[in-house]
Amino acid sequence: NAGVTQTPKFQVLKTGQSMTLQCAQDMNHNSMYWYRQDPGMGLRLIYYSASEGTTDKGEVPNGYNVSRLNKREFSLRLESAAPSQTSVYFCASEARVDSPLHFGNGTRLTVT
Amino acid sequence: ILNVEQSPQSLHVQEGDSTNFTCSFPSSNFYALHWYRWETAKSPEALFVMTLNGDEKKKGRISATLNTKEGYSYLYIKGSQPEDSATYLCASTSGTYKYIFGTGTRLKVLA
């Protein structure tokens, strides 16, 4: 009963490098989300996917791309990492619009 | 993007005290208000989801109320315990984006 699983837990990148953050949920949820959390800023939505095959931009999408590979998986890609992308990233899923979000354990990313 | 605001930012209470926090959100285009509990080094866990004006929800010593017309929700903790120490987040659906989060209220309960 894993819930929402994110990998990796920690990552250090150099400016300009690329990487993909992986997220998978085993609860058969339709909607999935990527948030970033910065001190004093709260959780800010990067991208979301309301259902398999659809993705939409959130509040802070610049510098990121996403893929909803199937119903279970929703990945976040940084094509050319920048120091401003240093943050803690959370993936979340929900069953329907009036149900709570289920969060993964987060990925702490540092870009030097 | 309209903001969701929480107050206070942080507070310290003594074990056994009751306390409450406020979440203010845009009342237009409202759909749902969520409360989450977030312990250090863990991920946020859902406490309540409320959709109707006047909603009141309770889980153990924690309860919440909702006023959608004036755009606020209160979270109450009765008889605070050290294990209640956490950051409490609220989130509201607002406009185009799903679940706009507040910056949280950080609670420390002193034994």
Q: In this complex, is the C-beta atom of A39 within 8 Å of any C-beta atom belonging to chain B?
A: no
- Nearest CB to A59 within list B1, B31, B42: B1
How would residue B98 be classed by pLDDT, with cut points 50, 70 and 90? confident
Average pLDDT for residues B29-40, to the nearest whole number? Answer: 92
Element (DSSP H or E) covering residue B47 = strand B45-50
CB–CB of B61/B79 below 8 Å?
yes
Residue A65, both tokens:
């791309």
Tens digits of residue pLDDT in B45-74: 999 999 999 999 999 999 999 999 999 999
- Nearest CB to A40 within list B4, B36, B103: B103
Tens digits of residue pLDDT in B9-25: 999 999 999 999 999 99
How would residue B2 be classed by pLDDT, with cut points 50, 70 and 90? low
Q: In this complex, is the C-beta atom of B10 within 8 Å of any C-beta atom belonging to chain A?
A: no
Rounded (5°) CA angle A39-A94-A34: 35
The sheet that has B62-67: what strands, in order across it? B5-7, B19-24, B72-77, B62-67, B56-59
CB–CB of B70/B27 below 8 Å?
yes
Q: Would you call A103 and B43 a contact, using CB atoms and an 8 Å cutoff?
A: yes
Q: Would you list the DSSP string of B62-108?
A: EEEEEETTTTEEEEEESS--GGG-EEEEEEEEETTEEEEE---EEEE
Q: What is the DSSP letter of A6?
A: E
Measure Cα distances from A40 to A36, A69, B26, B106 in Å. Answer: 12, 32, 20, 11
Which residues does chain A have within 8 Å of residue B101's beta carbon, measured at their own beta carbons?
35, 42-44
d(CA A76, CA B43): 18
pLDDT (tens, 9 = 90+) of chain A, 112 residues, equals 679 999 999 999 999 999 999 999 999 999 999 999 998 888 999 999 998 989 999 989 999 999 998 999 999 999 999 999 999 999 999 988 778 999 999 999 999 9
CA distance B78 to chain A (A): 23
Q: Would you call B89 and A33 a contact, using CB atoms and an 8 Å cutoff?
A: no
CA torsion sign for B99, B102, B103, B106 is negative
Give A94: exposed, middle or buried? Use CB within 10 Å, 0-12, 13-18, 19+.
Answer: buried
